Structure 1
């Protein structure tokens, strides 16, 4: 049986890099995208079947189209996981944040992942998954204390767009997963976070392997628990 295949979008560091390592560890063949060359990612090439695609910015439609062209002859992916995201000026309220900054956060965190998913959904194998990295902070029902308002809103928007994307492809033979990785010690999560990258990534991979063959759109965390919308 040939190895399962994953496309990890945004893999130069943090959770993206951790996911590549864990999928390779589990015997998957991985294609990983980065905007710029990553020495840490290149070091993983000896750990398994890894193809690295550089110059891929999810905010750049031409770069995404070029990637799709380069991968056109490759076998379909069992899993396409868009990890890339930003938390620019997350501590600034939406009421005072510069409009251009808020718009850029929304573009990268909500619009671009969906545009990428739309560009690549025909490259997902039957029984596969389109996975989008979101956050529990994007849950509207759990938002009781505020804070990180623009980031929260961008992830809530991603969740809504993902539901729409899944609905528009309701007859597809693949599923959609919105994945909350937990509070992880990365550049985005900060040093006070409760999880290390390896623990989060290992949990996410286990959850996603268990979801293969599933349909619809679900919002899960790295332990497999359902997150309220």
Structure 2
């Protein structure tokens, strides 16, 4: 593992919301951070300009295997202590039988398939003892699905969790810590203005969890307090 001052992280999906705050918090703690964005982000650019070189920006459309491959080539000489994939879309609160097929495909590709493609494309950059993490949600917990609503989003996060379990099974001996993170319900474009949590408060707690779990074996599904979320 790298020394504290040389820790490197790649945050996929950092143009806004939780990913933006995550990249900034890591840089604030002394990590060297590579943050990806689909399109130019003024906030991310401002954070990079103020970071004294600790935060750099890469362009990536995560749903594109070709762009993932190109990013892997550009970062070929890097060694990461943390690879964190943050990506999700929500297309409203339709019951599943009313969801158009193209909407179903879009949400599943973005929320479940593409994060695992990203891990597979980039995992070779993660140093022995490093961490591979994905932003999940309590909404993906089957046992906690006891209230109506957001059926497609819930299904996509449950699919993400299952695929991460399969990923862990295939790569059980790679020495990487593997985490699914539930950051709680935050006031973001996705979470809405009435959500109870402020990302500026919840994301530092998430980073505490990431740092505390370094070197832990297997796969864990944890919330921002480090507590296990039931599958």
The two structures have a TM-score, normalised by structure 1, of 0.96
Asked if 1:109 is matched to 2:111, the reply is: yes
Distance (whole Å) between structure 2 residues aligned to residue 125 and residue 73 of structure 1: 12
Per-residue Cα deviation, 1:126-167 (whole angstroms, up to 9, x for no partner)? 111111111100000010113100000000000000000001
Distance (whole Å) between structure 2 residues aligned to residue 172 and residue 215 of structure 1: 10
SS at match of 1:209: helix
Q: How does 1:165-176 map to 2 (within 5 A)?
A: 165-176=167-178
Question: What are the ranges of 5 or more consecutive residues in structure 1 without an aligned counterpart?
Answer: none
Asked if 1:122 is matched to 2:124, the reply is: yes
Per-residue Cα deviation, 1:104-142 (whole angstroms, up to 9, x for no partner)? 100100010011101111111111111111110000001
Asked if 1:6 is matched to 2:4, the reply is: no
Asked if 1:69 is matched to 2:73, the reply is: yes
SS at match of 1:219: strand
Asked if 1:225 is matched to 2:227, the reply is: yes
Q: Is the 8 A contact 1:166 1:217 kept in 2?
A: yes
1:141 equivalent in structure 2: 143
SS at match of 2:107: helix
- After TM superposition, the runs of 4+ consecutive aligned structure 1 residues lying more than 4 A away are none
Choose the corresponding residue for 1:60, options 58, 64, 73.
64
CA deviation after TM superposition for structure 1 residue 47, in Å: 2.2
Q: Is the 8 A contact 1:6 1:80 kept in 2?
A: yes
1:187 equivalent in structure 2: 189
Distance (whole Å) between structure 2 residues aligned to residue 85 and residue 153 of structure 1: 12
SS at match of 1:95: helix
Distance (whole Å) between structure 2 residues aligned to residue 224 and residue 141 of structure 1: 19
The two structures have a TM-score, normalised by structure 2, of 0.96
1:155 equivalent in structure 2: 157
SS at match of 2:97: coil
Distance (whole Å) between structure 2 residues aligned to residue 186 and residue 113 of structure 1: 20
Question: What are the ranges of 5 or more consecutive residues in structure 2 without an aligned counterpart?
Answer: none
Q: Is the 8 A contact 1:166 1:175 kept in 2?
A: no
Distance (whole Å) between structure 2 residues aligned to residue 207 and residue 95 of structure 1: 38
SS at match of 1:22: helix
Aligned length: 226
1:84 equivalent in structure 2: 87
Distance (whole Å) between structure 2 residues aligned to residue 41 and residue 208 of structure 1: 21
Asked if 1:132 is matched to 2:134, the reply is: yes
CA deviation after TM superposition for structure 1 residue 210, in Å: 0.4
1:51 equivalent in structure 2: 56
Distance (whole Å) between structure 2 residues aligned to residue 186 and residue 207 of structure 1: 21
Asked if 1:21 is matched to 2:24, the reply is: yes
2:203 equivalent in structure 1: 201
